Each structure stands twice: as structure tokens, then as C-alpha cells.
């Protein structure tokens, strides 16, 4: 069997997340004899398969929008004829980011002995990228690849900054430079052809995927999360193959009442058209049923697993006697993940245990607010914002922690909790997190209850017997939670829809 899998990321570096889930499932499928062609936007540069195809595309000819303009679910529109798609392996601009560069390989699917290959399409889409964040990201990306001439046109490194009449020769000169800058930006935009909004880029990416796989053969289409659903719908219609849509989280879980209407509509369209709907937990499946219209008979729960972090020398490094205790948070600094609750709990813990230290590992839009709040709470010296952690730094963060906290307001699963348990770190999670469906050796607190969370942290730091019991039980529970188990269940779903 051959599977076309569409995803956002395939990185081995991230703690938890869609990237590690996609990688774990794909590699486990291959070990069991399934061929996988994994398509994603761009590359991080650390993907493991030896040969990767990076395809740079010019703007595909469009025949009407495929993205909804309101809450009305829509079907994918008819595919664009191949002759109308201007698709090329053309070289990117010389000043393009190094992450865009990869060895060009023949466009055929790998032989059966080469069962896993990645196809990276030139697109700036990233996991969990909101509309405003996409706008900022695309401006920065275009600024990096404009080249030295366009760079000199910008004012003080700010491409969109207004030029005053006093700047280098008065108003006439300023207008000329502004005009030159706009022409340079337009030229770059025409050449790169990225969507100027997130919705436009998701549409462009869908058509690029359709063109990229036009000559491929596969039995099933497996799309992971909403940004890939329009592509999955187009490929399903063009190739007449069964579509599975995999919800690692839905817009209602990520953003609640503030969710984007267009994203919700795309998710609803995918639910309508898919042969099967995959959820990472029963809790996540219930969330879908509450917020969307769907056929329950199509839903399958596929619990996540994890790949043990690379921790040479054993699980835990012996801690020096009398060390300052450390409480760790890992995740996006976003409302869904609850870093604000973590900080409020940290203030309560610090009042009782002044030597306790707190680490927030991750990046996100809440960073400025969290730094300011830490200052207000008097935690400036007790809290460290480490930024994004990966690889050895990520493992060291786990190994240096006395307690790991996952305070998410909505957590469909929570792979990072499994990683922490596997390294012998006692773990606290918000009640209702999907991971509690597969492990019991965690302490739970009510979501948004900072006082309750603080009590649990203090209990773990002050009661060695409780810590030891949770560590021992956790190590036993996660021992068999590897990706081969959900991959077998996934292969059964593939067989179910393709027969």
C-alpha cells in the first residue's frame, strides 16, 4: 500500500506536536511495510531520510477560490488542468533562506525498498501560524530574499516605514524611493508567488500539492490538520482516492470562541468529505462532535505515542544535594497552552519555596505579556524564558527538572508528558488532557486553577515518596507507548477504506 500523507512538519527536534506525531506514524508505517510519500511546506533542515525533494513553484493558475468566504461549508472545486498549472523546479533567488535549499531529485516515487520520502513544497506556512503572525512572517521572509538593491531602498531596515521629505533629498526623492521599493516588492512577490494572506497561501499551497503529485500513484490520502485539508480535498477529487483527515487539534480547541471562521469552515468541509476522521483522543472526538456537524460512524480515535528522547547515560542525571528545585513548562507561549496559569502558580510556589526556579521553554505571541507579568509578580530572578528548545538542549531541560507541568486550557493529547515520564520527571497535567487516557501516573488539576496547580507542585517537591512512586509507575506505563501500536491501527483504517 502507498499512502500520500500531507502535514505541516516532520521534525525530530520538537517536543511533542504535530511534527513528531507525523514523523512517528510515518516511520512506524514504513517499518510495517507501508510506503509513504510525505508532503509538507518546506524543510527544517534536520529531516532524517537521506533524499528529500524540494519543489519551488510559481503561482498556479486559479479557477475560483477554494477557501470559504463565510461559515458555509464548501466542497473542493474541480482540479485545474495540468496544462494550466505553471509548475517548475526553478532555482530560488540567490539570497533565499538556506532552509529553502535542497538537492533536486528525480520526480518519481521511490522504489519499494525506499519506502519513505519527503516532498517539501516552497511555502512559508508553519504550524499554528495565525493570520496576523502569517502577515508578519511573510514580510520578514520577503525582506530576507529581496536582495541588496531592494534592501537599500528600505528605511533603516524597516521595509514598510514611511519616508519623510527630509530623507535624502526631499519629497520628490522620497516618492521615487517609495516607488522603487514597491516595484522591487512586487517583482519579488511575482517571482515567489506566496499568498499575501494566510488564507490565500493555504489555497495556493493546495493547488501546488495537486500539481506536485499529479504523476504519483497512491491508495489513500491522509491529511493532518486544517492547513492541509484543502489540498487533501483537491487530491481526493482529482485522484478519486479515499481521504482521511487527522485532527491533532481543531480550531475550537485551539482558540475557542475566538476561532477563525474560515478555518472552522475548512474543517467542516473536510469532515463532510472524508471517508474517515482521526482524533488523537476520545476527548478531542467529543470536542469535534460539540462544535461541528459530523457522522460519528466515520470517527476513529488514534491515541498518540512518543519516540524516547535521546538521553545518553540513562534517564535522570543524579542531582546534587541541596540543589534549587526546578519546575519546567514546555510549549507554545499561547493561550491554549496555559503559560499564564503556570506563572500564577509559580508565584504561589515561590512564596512558599523561595529557592524554587521556573523555566518556560517555547516561543509564541504571549511572550511580551508573560515577561511583563513575571515582573509584576516579582519573579524576574526566579523565572527563565529559555526560548525554543530542541535536540540536546531539550533533553537537558527535562533532565534538569524536578517537576514538569502541562497546564493547557485545551490539550487534545500532550506527547510532551510522555517524554517527561520516560525521563523520570514527575508530571502534572490539566484535567481532561488527552494523555490521561493512556497514562495514570500523573497528578491532575482543574484547568485555570493556579492555586490548585501550586499545591500539586509543592506536594511533589516536599514529598519524596510521592515523587518516587510517580516516577516508577510512569516509567512502566510509557514503556510500551511507541508509535508501532497506533501505526498498526492506522494501517487497519487504511485497509478499511481502500477495499
DSSP labels for 194-216?
A: --SSHHHHHHHHHHHHHHHTTT-
Ordered by start, the domain boundaries in the chain are 2-123+196-301, 132-192, 326-478
Q: Pick the residue with more confidence: 282 or 195?
A: 282
pTM metric for this prediction: 0.78
Residues 96-123 pLDDT 10s: 333 332 333 333 444 444 688 888 888 8
Question: Could you give the percent of the chain with pLDDT greater than 90?
Answer: 58
| Residue 178: its H or E element | helix 170-192
DSSP labels for 427-446?
A: EEEETT-GGGGT---SEEE-
Q: Where are the beta strands (DSSP E) in 273-378?
A: 276-279, 299-301, 326-330, 357-361
CATH superfamily of 2-123+196-301: Glycogen Phosphorylase B; (3.40.50.2000)
pLDDT-derived band at 184, boundaries 50, 70, 90: low
For the chain, report the end-to-end CA distance as a whole number of angstroms.
Answer: 11
Q: Rounded distance, CA 274 to CA 270, Å?
A: 6
Question: Could you give the percent of the chain with pLDDT greater than 70?
Answer: 72
**Which residues are within 8 A (CB) of 380 and not within 5 positions of it... i.e. 6 or more apart?**
374
Q: Rounded distance, CA 281 to CA 287, Å?
A: 10
Q: What average pLDDT does this structure show over 241-247?
A: 98
Q: Which pLDDT belongs to residue 74?
A: 33
Q: Check whether 182 has a pLDDT greater than 80.
A: no
The full length of the chain comes to: 499
| Residue 395: its H or E element | helix 391-399
Q: What average pLDDT does this structure show over 84-97?
A: 30
- State the maximum Cα–Cα separation within the chain, in Å, rounded to a whole number: 76
Among 127-131, 263-267, 420-424, the minimum mean pLDDT is found in 127-131
Q: Check whether 53 has a pLDDT greater than 80.
A: no
Q: What is the CATH number of domain 326-478?
A: 3.40.50.2000
Q: Tell me whether domains 2-123+196-301 and 326-478 share a fold.
A: yes
Residues 218-231 pLDDT 10s: 999 999 999 999 99
Q: Which pLDDT belongs to residue 5?
A: 96
Q: Which pLDDT belongs to residue 92?
A: 27
Q: Check whether 342 has a pLDDT greater than 70.
A: yes
Amino acid at each position: 500500500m502507498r499512502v500520500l500523507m500531507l502535514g505541516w512538519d516532520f521534525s525530530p527536534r520538537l517536543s511533542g506536536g504535530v511534527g513528531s506525531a507525523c514523523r512517528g506514524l510515518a516511520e512506524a508505517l514504513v517499518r510495517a511495510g507501508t510506503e509513504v510519500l510525505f508532503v509538507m511546506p518546506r524543510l527544517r533542515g534536520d529531516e532524517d531520510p537521506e533524499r528529500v525533494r524540494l519543489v519551488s513553484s510559481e503561482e498556479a493558475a486559479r479557477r475560483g477560490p477554494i477557501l470559504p468566504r463565510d461559515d458555509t461549508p464548501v466542497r473542493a472545486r474541480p482540479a485545474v488542468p495540468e496544462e494550466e498549472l505553471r509548475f517548475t523546479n526553478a532555482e530560488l533567488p540567490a539570497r533565499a533562506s538556506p532552509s529553502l535549499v535542497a538537492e533536486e531529485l528525480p520526480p518519481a516515487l521511490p522504489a519499494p525498498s525506499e519506502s519513505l520520502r519527503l516532498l517539501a513544497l516552497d511555502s512559508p506556512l508553519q504550524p499554528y501560524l495565525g493570520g496576523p503572525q502569517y502577515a508578519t512572517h511573510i514580510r520578514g521572509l520577503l525582506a530576507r530574499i529581496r536582495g541588496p538593491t531592494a534592501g537599500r531602498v528600505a528605511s533603516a531596515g524597516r521595509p514598510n516605514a514611511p519616508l519623510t521629505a527630509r530623507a535624502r533629498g526631499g519629497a520628490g526623492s522620497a516618492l521615487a524611493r517609495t516607488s522603487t521599493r514597491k516595484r522591487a516588492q512586487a517583482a519579488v512577490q511575482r517571482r515567489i508567488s506566496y499568498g499575501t494572506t494566510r488564507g490565500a497561501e493555504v489555497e495556493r499551497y493546495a493547488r501546488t500539492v495537486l500539481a506536485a503529485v499529479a504523476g504519483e500513484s497512491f491508495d489513500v490520502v491522509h491529511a493532518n490538520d486544517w492547513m492541509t485539508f484543502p489540498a487533501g480535498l483537491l487530491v481526493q477529487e482529482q485522484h478519486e482516492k479515499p481521504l482521511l483527515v487527522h485532527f491533532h487539534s481543531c480550531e475550537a480547541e485551539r482558540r475557542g470562541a475566538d476561532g477563525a471562521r474560515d478555518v472552522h469552515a475548512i474543517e467542516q468541509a473536510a469532515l463532510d468529505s472524508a471517508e474517515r476522521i482521526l482524533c488523537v483522543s476520545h476527548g478531542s472526538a467529543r470536542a469535534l462532535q460539540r462544535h461541528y456537524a459530523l457522522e460519528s460512524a466515520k470517527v476513529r480515535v488514534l491515541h498518540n505515542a512518543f519516540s524516547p528522547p535521546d538521553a545518553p547515560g540513562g534517564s535522570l542525571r543524579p542531582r546534587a544535594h541541596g540543589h534549587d528545585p526546578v519546575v519546567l513548562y514546555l510549549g507554545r507561549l499561547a493561550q491554549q497552552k496555559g503559560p499564564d496559569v503556570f506563572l500564577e502558580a509559580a508565584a504561589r510556589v515561590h512564596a512558599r519555596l523561595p529557592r524554587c526556579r521556573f523555566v518556560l521553554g517555547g516561543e509564541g505571541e504571549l511572550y511580551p505579556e508573560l515577561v511583563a507579568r513575571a515582573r509584576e509578580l516579582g519573579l524576574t530572578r526566579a523565572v527563565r524564558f529559555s526560548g525554543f528548545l530542541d535536540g540536546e538542549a531539550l533533553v537537558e531541560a527535562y533532565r534538569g527538572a524536578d517537576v514538569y507541568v502541562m497546564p493547557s486550557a485545551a490539550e487534545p493529547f500532550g506527547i510532551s508528558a510522555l517524554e517527561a515520564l520516560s525521563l523520570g520527571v514527575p508530571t502534572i497535567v490539566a484535567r481532561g488532557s488527552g494523555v490521561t487516557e493512556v497514562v495514570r501516573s500523573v497528578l491532575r488539576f482543574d484547568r485555570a486553577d493556579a492555586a490548585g496547580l501550586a499545591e500539586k507542585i509543592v506536594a511533589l517537591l516536599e514529598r519524596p515518596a510521592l515523587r518516587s512512586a510517580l516516577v516508577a509507575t510512569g516509567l512502566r506505563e510509557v514503556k510500551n507507548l511507541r508509535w508501532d501500536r497506533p501505526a498498526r491501527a492506522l494501517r487497519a483504517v487504511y485497509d478499511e477504506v481502500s477495499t
